[in-house]
Amino acid sequence: MGCAVKPALRPLCLALLLAACSAGRAPDAPAQQAQAADNWTNPGGDAGKTHYSTLTDITPANVAALGLAWEANLGTNRVLEATPVVIDGVMYTSGVAGRAYAFDAATGKELWRFEPEVSMQVNRTVCCDMANRGVAVANGKVFVAALDAQLYALDAKTGKIVWKADTVDDKARGVNSTGAPEIAGNVVLIGNGGAEYDTRGYVSAYDLNSGKLVWRFHTVPRDPTLGPQDHPDLEEAVKTWDPKSRWDIGGGGTPWDAINYDAETGNVIIGTGNGGPYHTVKRSPKGGDQLYLASLVALDAKTGRKKWHYQQTPGDNWDFTSTQPMILTHMKIDGADRAVLIHAPKNGFLYVIDRRNGKVLRANPIVRVNWADGVDLSTGRPRLRPDRADYATSPKIVFPGTTGARNWHPGSYDPQTGLYYASVLDMGNLIYQTPGEKPLRRKMLNVDAALVFTSVLAAALPTMPPPVQAAVKALPEWPDVLKSPGKAELRAIDPLTGRTRWAVPAQGWQDRAGTLTTASGLLFNGNIAGQLRVFDKANGKLLKSIDTGSSILAAPMTYRVKGVQYVAVMAAWGGGGYAYVPPYSAAYKRGNQGRLLVFKLGGSPTPLPPELAPLEVAPPPPAQAPDVTKAMIAQGQQLFFANCVMCHSNQHRSITPDLRRMQPETHRAFEQIVLGGLLQPNGMPRWDDLLKPREVSAIHAWLIDEQARTRADELEKKKRGLPLDAPSLAILSNY
């Protein structure tokens, strides 16, 4: 069925196509929504996950009257990344670690809430906070994945468990789950995370009604010495790996987000994650493309067999995941209407791909890119630049950085303007191998290189070893870093050319959030300073800004109940780098109370959380034990940075405990907390399987020393009348 029609008629054509493709389904199969209007039936809004709404009640002319309709306090101080779903006046959404909620979408009355039983030991293998990106709804059920990779089907009316599936394929590995499930015909799919640890990626499909596993597709092969691969399509993939690869570390490729069902083709398209460990020489020593890392893979929704794949970053060395949200739509390209996929992964390119066969139609850089100098459209392969980006033997400044040009924050495609709207980060990394061979460990972080963002590189360089300083200053990227260390922007981009039509600067590199566009000409986007902003999507003009007092990362959505249009967004800081709370964020000023905020025309002013009390000088630490030496303190520092710093930044206003400010009772219980799991229910896992009592004592000794330094520094600041969170006056060369 062709669709060569005018742009204004394409939504109708898409609806007809979806209806035609749905004709052969079982009677209870969920319907696909071609457009988002009164209902917003999945986190992306419509079948293509365009984050675009056809509603027009809120317009540039009346948006000034937008105010709070209702809010819900979700009882957490950790990240909220989900976009809610609304079906027939009921809102469903997810929260920390896989909690789920249902509300009356017009009044905010809570209908039910669900909290899964999750062992907080899973936090040992979660890189980026206890995030969850949404629910799926079908057949009277709400599907949500808990952090420990348990998939729940809940009764949509009551929130009671209908069935539960354990999606973990190997209990010995650090498997977790943070993405939204995806409905694909009569199955529900979920992927896994953990590539930075020891996980082998896979996506699993379960029967909607029974929870029975229907099929599973691993995204990387297993050790070929174990015999045939556990999926036929991996026989092709294993040939692209060194036979002596570190199969024990898993390989990575985890599809932790970006799973889209394409009803027009019957395929499920998944985006896969980075390789683990980061550099290919540690993972597949002889190199190779290493399928299906950093790829888009189309699978038959009924069988799990591969239809096509496209690898965006062959032999990934830089954490260039392809798990960023994708958009399915139709576009006129080279005179023909094409069913396409729009995708901007971490690697810096914006792709337009034919989703029927995986052919790359367009691939344009949207930020500085030096790991490749373009993509050959005849083959789809990037033209790699190992001389500029391979850090195996010498330091390199790589653009974009490991934070990615794009990340999980959803973008929007607007069929009226033909533009892609998204938060974009133009920043790089200095990457280099640190001296000594570091053991790669099971269920432990296996990031095998030093990473420094270019946004702070000029300030950090003098603290680095002289050979590294000399090498960095000789790199061709160094002058550009000094001139433009990095910037984040909200952009309107032409997906066919990669050119920016307009841009709004962000306050810092961490200031990124999801987007929503509407048929009335509006673009909604939050920021971590706590503002929900409304722009004219044609030119980026700011039309309305609501100060919520809560940091916003998630994508807003919109719906209508009984003729009233609402806009909703979830708000709380966290995600990657969650322990480092930016000083310009609402979370730094007012705390991180997790909220669901819903707005309408004629609504009320939004109440702001109270400002946090002024910082107090760090309390005095206990005396060091008699046997503590300088060598032991130095060992404690190394152990802390190897095991603890992912969660404990020891930063003012962190959403995890600042261990430079421990109270006497915490010092007394330190070993019991770290080795005995005393605070495991609060999110602090135990470490008795990895750390010995003497090593824990060394970590504690270093923290006591740090607390003493911090207290002395802050007492001096107080004496001088300086704020306690001003840059340190002390020389903390070991921090």
Amino acid (1-letter code) at residue 111: L
C-beta pairs of 110-117 under 8 Å, 24+ apart in sequence: 110/72, 111/159, 112/158, 112/159, 113/159, 114/144, 114/152, 114/154, 114/159, 114/161, 116/144, 116/146, 116/148, 116/150, 116/152
**Residue 539: is it exposed, middle or buried by C-beta count within 10 angstroms (0-12/13-18/19+)?**
exposed
- Would you say 394 and 431 are in contact if contact means Cβ atoms under 8 Å apart? no
505/662 Cα distance (integer angstroms): 38
Mapped to the 3 state alphabet, what secondary structure does 13-74 carry? Answer: HHHHHHHHHHCCCCCCCCCCCCCECCCECCCCCCCCCCCEECCCCCCCCCHHHEEEEEEEEC
Which one of the listed residues 129, 257, 262, 319 is annotated catalytic? 319
- 626 prior amide bond cis, ω within 30: no
536/518 Cα distance (integer angstroms): 10
Query: Is-catalytic flag, 166?
Result: no
685 Cβ partners below 8 Å, 6+ apart? 120, 121, 122, 123, 124, 677
3-state secondary structure of 604: strand
171 Cβ partners below 8 Å, 6+ apart? none
- 277 prior amide bond cis, ω within 30: yes
357/337 Cα distance (integer angstroms): 15
3-state secondary structure of 425: strand
* Residue 388, both tokens: 């500029």
539/23 Cα distance (integer angstroms): 41
**Across the strands, what pairs with 659?**
none
444/126 Cα distance (integer angstroms): 10
361/496 Cα distance (integer angstroms): 9
- Give the active site residues: 319
